[in-house]
Amino acid sequence: MPLPTDNQLAAAPLSIAVFGPGFGESIVLRAGTADGAEWAVVDSARRERENGATINPSLKLLEYCNAHPSLVVFTHPHEDHAGGMAHLVERAADGATVGSVEPLMSARTPLQTHRDPDDRRAQRRTEVRNAHIAISQAWAGRARKWALVADAQPFLLGGWQVSVLNPGAPELADAVANMEAGQKVRLNNLSAALLLERDAIRLVLAADCERAAWTKVASRLNPNHLRATRPVKVPHHGSKGAIHDVLIRYATLDAGRAQVVTPFPSSGALPRFEVDQGADRLLRAAGELLLTALPVDLLPRSDATTIDEVRNALTTEHFAGDTDFAIEDADPATTAALAAGARDPLETWVLLSIHLDGTVAVTRGGHAVRLVA
C-alpha cells in the first residue's frame, strides 16, 4: 500500500502526512476527535506517473479515507503548491474554511501569465491561477473565508489551534503596493506559515518562508517560542536562505527534533547537499532530516542515508578556468533518477504521528529518505 493506511493515520491524535512528489508540496492533517476525525489539507501538489496518469497524492489520500477536509489552506501562489488545488477545494466539506493570502489573489499580481504553451512555467502559473479561481469561487459560495495574515483569528481543527505566523499585515500591504508599482515581490516571504498548538505541543508548517519572513516573524514573537516547536515542516524545501534562528538554529544540535523537507525542484536543486548548504545545516540542527522524495534507486538501501551518499549522486563540471560559470551535470545518464518522474508520487511522503505526550512517530513512503550526517 503506497499511501499511509487508515490505521497509520488513526494511530495518533494528530497525523500529518507531508507529500513532496518531487515537484511541489502538500500536507494532509487528520485530527482525531470524539466523533471520528477532522481533516485539513495545506497546499496541493500533483505530478505524472510514468503511465501518464496525473496523481495528486493528497487528493488520493482524502478519497481513500473518504475524508472531506474542514480546512483547506493555500499558503502562497507558487506553482509547486498549487497543482490540483481546485480538486482539493472541491473535495472540502460543505461549510469548510478555505484559507489563502487574499491580497495575492488579484489578477494584478505576478500571476499574470503570458500564454505560451511551450513555457512550462506558464503552465504552472496557470495552476496558481486555477487555485485562486477555485478559492475565490468557494468563498463566494459554500466555503468560509480565512484570509491568511498573522493576526487572523485562529482556526480550530479538532482539538488543535491553527494560527498564522506569517505574513504580517504590513508586509502584505507593502507587497501589494510594490506589485502595483510593477516591482518584483518575493512571494515566498509572503507565504502562510502555520503554527499548530494543543496544550504544550506545538509544531510548525513553515511553507516557503525565507529569511526576510522569519526576521519579521521574530520581531512579532519571543525568539525562543518557535525553536521549541516539534516537529517542523522545514521552510522552502530546505534552502539555506530559509534557515533562520527563530525556527531552526543550526549552531546548536537539538537532537531528535523531526524535520521534514520536500525536495524541489526535481533536478535536485533544493535542498543543496554541499558543505554548509541547506541539508548540511539542517543536519547540524537536528542530527537527521526526513526527505519526502529522493531517488532511492540510486542510493544504498538502508534505514538511513548519509549526506555523502547523496552528494555522490551529483557531479559537477566546470568550464576550464571559470568557476563563476560552473555547470552541474544533469545529464540523464547520471542524474535522471533525481527527477521524480521515475518515482511513484504516492510513495513520496513522510507521516508524522503526534501523540499528546509530545512524542512523534515517523513513517515513510517508499521514496522518502532519512538523511543523516
Residues 121-150 within binding reach of another protein (CB under 8 A) = 121-124, 126-127, 129-137, 139-140, 144-147
Q: What one-character-per-residue DSSP string does 72-84 give? A: EEE--S-GGGBTT
Binding letters toward another protein, positions 337-356, x by CB under 8 A: --xxx---------------
Residue 154 has what DSSP assignment? P
Of residues 33-72, which lie at the interface with another protein (CB under 8 A)? 47-48, 50, 52-54
Binding letters toward another protein, positions 164-193, x by CB under 8 A: --------------------x-x-------
Least distance between another protein and beta carbon 228 (Å): 28
Does position 120 interact with another protein (CB under 8 A)? The reply is yes
Q: Which is nearer to another protein, 121 or 355 (CB)?
A: 121
| Alpha helix segments (H runs only) across 165-253 | 169-180, 211-220
Stretch that binds another protein, among 61-69, 84-92, 213-221, 358-366 (CB under 8 A): 84-92
Q: Which is nearer to another protein, 303 or 317 (CB)?
A: 317
Least distance between another protein and beta carbon 245 (Å): 18
Stretch that binds another protein, among 7-15, 216-224, 265-273, 295-303 (CB under 8 A): 265-273
Residues 6+ apart with CB under 8 A from 130: 82, 85, 86
Does position 76 interact with another protein (CB under 8 A)? The reply is no
Of residues 3-22, which lie at the interface with another protein (CB under 8 A)? 22
E-state strands within 20-96: 26-33, 36-42, 47-48, 54-55, 71-74
Residue 66 has what DSSP assignment? T
Q: Which is nearer to another protein, 23 or 273 (CB)?
A: 23
Does position 277 interact with another protein (CB under 8 A)? The reply is no
Question: Residue 166: beta bridge partners?
Answer: 193
Of residues 87-116, which lie at the interface with another protein (CB under 8 A)? 87, 89-90, 97, 102-103, 105-107, 111-116
Q: Is residue 201 left, alpha or beta, with left meaning phi > 0 and alpha meaning psi from -120 to 50?
A: beta
CA 344 to CA 232: how far, in whole Å? 24
**Closest to 237 measured CA to CA, from 86, 45, 5, 96:** 45
Query: Which one of residues 151, 199, 303, 317 is an interface residue with another protein (CB under 8 A)?
Result: 317
Cβ pair 45, 3 in contact under 8 A: no
259-261/232-233 β-pairing: parallel
**Closest to 187 measured CA to CA, from 127, 121, 116, 128:** 128
Hey, what's the cell of 173? Answer: 500591504
Of residues 208-247, which lie at the interface with another protein (CB under 8 A)? 210, 239-241
Least distance between another protein and beta carbon 222 (Å): 25
Residues that bind another protein (rule: CB under 8 A) add up to a total of 79
Give the position of cell 543543496: 272
